[in-house]
Amino acid sequence: MPSRSRIFAALAVVVVSALVVAVVVTRDDPEPAAQAGPVTTTTPPPPEAEPHVEAVVTIDQRATDAALAVLDDGGTAADAAVTAAAVLSVVEPYYSNLIGGETAALYYDAARQEVRSLDGVGFVGEEFSLDTYRGGQPFGLDQALVPGSWDGWMVLLAEHGELGLDRLLRPAIELARDGHVATAELQNQVVSALGAGSINAAARAVYVPGGRAVRAGETVVQSDFAASLQGIADVFAAADSRTAGLRAARDHVYRGPLGAALTEAARAEGATFTAADMARFEATTGEAISLEYDDVTVHQTPPGTQGLTMLTALNTIEKADLRPEDAASPDAAHLVIEALKLAMADREEFVGDPAFTDVPVEALLSDDYGRQQLARIDPGSSIDAPIASGLDNTTTFQVVDAGGNAVAVTTSTGYQLQAAGSTGIMMNNRMRYMTATDPGSPNFLEPGKKVRYTGNPYIVTDADGALRLLGGTIGGDTQAQVQTQHVVNVLDFGLSAADAIARYRFVTQNTPGSIAPHRTPNQVRVETSTPSDVVDSLRRRGQNVSLQSGSGPFGYGTMVVIGSGGRSADLGVDPRVPTAAGVARPPG
């Protein structure tokens, strides 16, 4: 089998020789770390002498452009990621918010050739009670966890940023204050929210002017959110140092007036987190978990995200020694589907908040376990629910800076339009991703526990530790499954980044879904673009195939493949819902 390093070299055919190469993109969700809170600004070692290709891939041109401008101003990948997150919070409010949401990220430090994880996921409020919980209601501020994203961004900036926070927030402030043009997707999401009852009065004031949903092409002004962001920028600017400013910006949200306003508004609509919960929350950084996959290393976000699910699936698939000629094989499709089913079963059995449950990461990623799982797969028939373990809605984007540092992010509110009063901050509803009916589940609802977060971006490094691939996918339970296929498409089948992302997908539904009411349809979603011979073969093996189309059932993904020496980049973006842009720029 050709090594993954050689496949990477063959894929690096998109050498950026012009000033800018733009690619149309598409849109569609640890162990506790040693470091917490932006209390000090660390000084990284000097960057590599060799210049590196820069790349930004987001779901909106405005976010991509704003992030590139930060890189132009000498900002790092961390700086640009915060700007992208802020702009997306304005123009794409239905999926993410850099203050009210939850975030998981990986950071690649080029000088150290090290991948670290960022856990910006909040916990269930201490006043939560199952006796009063509306478990069947998927939307509302009573479903909100303590918002973890903002502290996560402050930690990232403290450790890896360079520019002032006021500079990083400026594009989002201007778009929110002066207005931005509504996209067709924003119109569709508001209409959908009205139908589902997932929009509250504070959000209606912005997105349902005069009693009707905002229309594509109209200007949307978010004065309240602009004021909240400006208040943070002012607090930062008033400090006597960048370190002190980041601390002040963090405290403004978690211990100060903005946090007080957010908490009061959320509690007025049923939220169970308190001011004390906000004050004690701390985002953490730690080691990423990883799997040796032939001659490369795949890095993932640790528990309590579902990142382990992607690695356990790859651990099984790697033992099958897939080759480029297997790309169109029904046998390979069946293998991948079955490996995903087994990985999802392990997720249900083991993965939760590591502060509450022991997650056997080492055992699940061992070679012996990968071979054991492969032996459970019958090439001629499918495994159906219930599946035993083998052991006794969201935004994603990526940034690479000129120093070769990289950030892969998946951040989410959980798909609703619920603003916290006059703050304009859209809040998460991640509590519905936990179970209220199964006390034996590692993801059971308890005060102080973090949700098993579905977001799980990935990074791949080569045998020498150099950055080779980073990406992510949105879509709840689809994320780990679709990302596994993207990585197999590149590493095993030798596809380009664009072809890997565009290729037909499978999503198994043979274990309880993450979102309440946690149904188990016991089927495999298969994209309608899948060749008929593959579909027919899967059905003959007993796969309960449900042919579907669109980004909803399959999420959307983005990917950056770095060429040899870091001087080129191959961008992979999703053709399913074209809305945004990715850009790669040559070094120098």
CATH number of 96's domain: 3.60.20.40
Closest CA to 140 of 314, 312, 265: 265
**SS3 call for 152:** helix
Residue 528 lies in a domain: yes
Residue 242 lies in a domain: yes
Residue 445 lies in a domain: yes
Asked whether residue 547 carries a pLDDT value surpassing 70, the answer given is yes
Of 27-41, 198-212, 406-420, the range with the lowest mean pLDDT is 27-41
- For residue 506, what are its two tokens? 């499978």
Query: pLDDT > 90: what percent of the chain?
Result: 75
36-73: pLDDT as tens digits = 333 344 445 544 447 899 999 998 999 999 999 999 99
438-447 average pLDDT score: 92
Give the pLDDT of residue 247.
Answer: 98
Give the pLDDT of residue 474.
Answer: 87
Determine how β-strand 102-109 pairs with β-strand 406-412.
antiparallel
Residue 358 lies in a domain: no
Give the pLDDT of residue 92.
Answer: 93
Give how far Cα 231 sits from Cα of 137, 146, 227, 549, Å: 33, 21, 6, 43
Residue 566 lies in a domain: yes
Give the pLDDT of residue 22.
Answer: 34
Cis preceding linkage at 386, omega within 30:
yes
Asked whether residue 579 carries a pLDDT value surpassing 60, the answer given is yes
164-190 average pLDDT score: 97
Asked whether residue 149 carries a pLDDT value surpassing 70, the answer given is yes
Cβ contact 562:582 at 8 Å: no
Cβ contact 244:184 at 8 Å: no
Predicted TM-score (pTM) of this structure: 0.90
284-302 average pLDDT score: 97
**Can you give the residue range of the structural domain that contains 567?**
54-179+221-289+388-585
Residue 318 lies in a domain: no
Residue 274 lies in a domain: yes
Asked whether residue 8 carries a pLDDT value surpassing 80, the answer given is no
What is the number of structural domains in the chain?
A: 1
Look over the chain and give the mean of its residue pLDDT values, rounded to a whole number: 89
Residue 321 lies in a domain: no
Asked whether residue 477 carries a pLDDT value surpassing 50, the answer given is yes
Asked whether residue 9 carries a pLDDT value surpassing 50, the answer given is no
- For residue 485, what are its two tokens? 């296929």
Rounded to whole angstroms, the Cα distance separating 560 from 565 reads 15
Q: Residue 439 — φ and ψ, nearest 5°? A: -60, -20
Give the pLDDT of residue 385.
Answer: 64
- Model confidence band, residue 208 (pLDDT cutoffs 50, 70, 90): very high
317-351: pLDDT as tens digits = 999 999 999 999 999 999 999 999 999 999 989 99
